[in-house]
Structure 1
């Protein structure tokens, strides 16, 4: 075991993406909408085999937080910061778990998975239609992460060394207790804690867990559909700038720094709220013929933003790094890092 001495730690649900182009009939058959992310229910379970049998899928290392950490590391490596990131989550002791570990490690991320021999590694069906995507996650082993894993010597070294922590909202369905261990360390040591709301269903059905995590968040990310869901759930109206300001001003455990709220809106401008002020950052449009797949765009944006934060850039420069990373990823199939990063921070 080599002791971690990097600056970025992520914790989340490691999933192997099973990604395929599908006809509308598949979306209708499984009752899913494009642009959405859901947890698999009984009715969805046959889709994984159907994709494998009939749609020649790609297998891509995924899970929202792991994607963001991989992208951040890709950018940091290109800027002379190899070995800066680590990631924790739970996988099975199977081929998919091995594949996930190989992929993240090859991108320069130090992986410290909890391994569950009794449950298969989680998978995510990525249904791609006309460049849009719908996600159906079967958490499996990812659902079994326990706070006890954070007691290992390696986990302690990672938590101690890191300066910036990122957890996506999907993890709120798994182990709020584990999130609090990391968030409390960040709070006690005045380090930066970042959270993503991740999906409308998290906001609608895990409101207490979101409220618990949000108090720790120095940076809060979400997209426009999640922002709308939050505004509706909490009676904040439909003006996303007002919703962003309200979240930025909501209770916060570390008063020494203001909360910054970042709403991405696909090709529309990114909204940033902090200290009672809203700023918008335009997105450079991508010609439609260059768009391959929006899967991973939000994850990549966060990865670029985190890399910017660690390079001590201002928020505007962090947003631009996020835009650059998202633009790169939507020209790939899935969240795949197909060439050397050309972004200089």
Structure 2
């Protein structure tokens, strides 16, 4: 059995404190929210976060896409604790303190850059029956300063300790690259063939597409993997599925396991997360 060292996995992104609550239609209407939506907070949503906390019974979770993935990876790895490191920016405030506590509970080694100009980023998940309306206020998450955090020797040491690095990529990648195709297999193939600095290691490309097949592109071929089929009645919330897939995938990649195993773990993690509200999971994984 391979034993991992601490800080073997490194993730960096926008840390958000997820604030989840079951709300009523009046609350959605007041802030002009659709029952099933994902938006960035505007001026009119300023009071929403405080009101949510005051008016409803809320649950807090460490969120933000990369932080979710790192959290799921740590859960799949189990031991050692702090196998996963996370960097991001928060505010010096109550929500920042809660976020630190939540990351610690998830056994993630989170090192936040703390500043006072902007409050900690939050994501309100307003739940009505089966729907979730997400309102994200990035705030502090946008204030990360490389020279004040990443470049510090003690932090850079953690970067150097890692074997696997993860930063979420934007879905507009193909458009930006001018690939001129909507065919996901073709995009995967073209992405795999892009120029690469380190020619010794082949690039592999993995695309997930919700309940459709997962695509893997290597130098020689493009393969598809069907996702695990869940009974529709068991699905509670599909929002965290993509982040969970990444977490499951990374949890095997740090052990140098074959890509097919990484994908299998990704599908497993996603299948667990969609049966729960938010990006949450049971105490231990049941993955063999």
TM-score, normalization: structure 1? 0.73
Inter-partner Cα distance in structure 1 for 2:70 and 2:29: 30
Structure 2: give runs of 5+ residues left out of the alignment. Answer: none
Q: Which residue of 1 is the match for residue 233 of structure 2?
A: 289
Inter-partner Cα distance in structure 2 for 1:56 and 1:166: 33
Q: Is the 8 A contact 2:23 2:127 kept in 1?
A: yes
Question: Structure 1 residues 277, 37: CA separation in 2 closer, same or farther (over 3 Å shift)?
Answer: farther
Q: Which residue of 1 is the match for residue 137 of structure 2?
A: 138
Inter-partner Cα distance in structure 2 for 1:128 and 1:235: 38
Within a 5 Å distance, the mapping from 1:120-159 to structure 2 comes to 120-128=119-127, 131=130, 133-148=132-147, 149-159=149-159
1:237 maps onto 2:181 in alignment: yes
Shift of 1:46: 4.5
Structure 1: give runs of 5+ residues left out of the alignment. Answer: 169-195, 204-209, 211-229
Indicate the structure with greater helix content: 1
Question: Structure 1 residues 139, 32: CA separation in 2 closer, same or farther (over 3 Å shift)?
Answer: same
Q: Which residue of 2 is the match for residue 16 of structure 1?
A: 17
Within a 5 Å distance, the mapping from 1:26-65 to structure 2 comes to 26=28, 30=32, 34=36, 37-49=38-50, 51-52=52-53, 56-65=57-66
Q: Is the 8 A contact 1:128 1:293 kept in 2?
A: no
Shift of 1:66: 0.9
Q: Is the 8 A contact 2:35 2:128 kept in 1?
A: no
Single out whichever of 22-31 and 315-324 deviates more from structure 2: 22-31
Measured on the aligned residues, the alpha-carbon RMSD in Å equals 2.7
1:113 match: secondary structure: strand
**What is the aligned length?**
282
Question: Structure 1 residues 132, 303: CA separation in 2 closer, same or farther (over 3 Å shift)?
Answer: farther
Q: Which residue of 1 is the match for residue 193 of structure 2?
A: 249
Inter-partner Cα distance in structure 1 for 2:257 and 2:106: 23
Question: Structure 1 residues 279, 118: CA separation in 2 closer, same or farther (over 3 Å shift)?
Answer: same
Q: Which residue of 2 is the match for residue 67 of structure 1?
A: 68
1:160 match: secondary structure: helix
Q: Is the 8 A contact 2:7 2:109 kept in 1?
A: no
Shift of 1:292: 1.2
Question: Structure 1 residues 263, 22: CA separation in 2 closer, same or farther (over 3 Å shift)?
Answer: farther
**Structure 1, residues 95-122: CA drift from partner, whole Å, max 9, x if none?**
2111111111122111111111332111
Q: Which has the higher contact order (CA 8 A, sep 6+)?
A: 2
TM-score, normalization: structure 2? 0.87
Within a 5 Å distance, the mapping from 1:102-251 to structure 2 comes to 102-128=101-127, 131=130, 133-148=132-147, 149-168=149-168, 196-197=169-170, 203=172, 230-231=174-175, 234-251=178-195
2:167 match: secondary structure: strand
2:263 match: secondary structure: helix
**Structure 1, residues 23-72: CA drift from partner, whole Å, max 9, x if none?**
788389646684x6443333444443454455544322101111111111
